[in-house]
Amino acid sequence: MLSIPVGRVALERFAGLAYVNLHTDGFTEDGGAAALHGGNDTQNLTYSTLGVRAASRFDLSGTTVITPRGRVGWRHAFDNATPTSSLAFAGSASAFTVSGVPIARDSAVVELGLDVSVGKNATVGVSYSGQYGGGYRDNAIQGNLLWRF
């Protein structure tokens, strides 16, 4: 993608496409009349994401650099956004369907982070990421240490 410098900030548009395939093997529980049986199952979901990233760089000394960064975008889920599973009580021929929490069809995605290089080989960072849509919220804070050798 094309990076556009705006003063000390670099802006970059981005687009992404992700395909998620989840396969679970069948199972049969032990434990009496309430034991469950589930057959093999496969769930598929495709996402697209469009947005913009921004980053800047501040040199504090010869080896210390601070890099604030951010990202905002729109994510769309295609296919069936409600996961389901077909189950039956062990020993019973009649199955029933259990639905999971639906995945938001459209959501906003955000990320804010700060990286600090400490020396020539090490960078430490912290970031927040969130996804908001359809009554659904997903929040995460992540720390990292990068050591180049």
Residue 109, Cβ neighbours under 10 Å: how many?
20
Asked if residue 42 has pLDDT above 80, the reply is yes
pLDDT at 73: 98
CATH number of the structural domain spanning residue 38: 2.40.128.130
Which residue in 47, 69, 148 sits closest to 115, CA to CA? 69
Count of structural domains within the chain: 1
Average pLDDT over residues 41-62: 92
Q: CB–CB of 100/81 below 8 Å?
A: no
Note the pLDDT tens digit of each residue in 110-146: 999 999 998 889 999 999 999 999 888 999 999 999 9
- Tell me the one-letter amino acid at 44: N
Q: Which domain holds residue 44?
A: 3-147
Q: Is the pLDDT of residue 1 over 60?
A: no
How do residues 67-86 score in pLDDT, each as one tens digit? Answer: 999 999 999 999 878 888 88
What average pLDDT score do residues 87-116 get? 91
State the chain's mean pLDDT as an integer.
Answer: 90
Confidence at 3, pLDDT banded by 50, 70, 90:
low
Residue 62 has pLDDT above 80, yes or no: no
What distance in Å separates the CA atoms of residue 96 and residue 29, rounded to the nearest whole number? Answer: 16
Q: What pLDDT, on a 0 to 100 scale, did the predictor assign at position 2?
A: 60
- For the chain, helix (H) and strand (E) counts, in that order, are 0, 12
pLDDT the model gives residue 7? 72
Instruction: Please name every residue paired with 143 in a beta bridge, in sequence order, or none if there are none.
Output: 126
Contacts of 147 (CB under 8 A, 6+ apart): 121, 122
Read off the tokens for 142.
């992540």
For residue 60, the model assigns a pLDDT of 85
Nearest to 68 by CA among 25, 128, 147: 128
- Write down the pLDDT at residue 123: 96
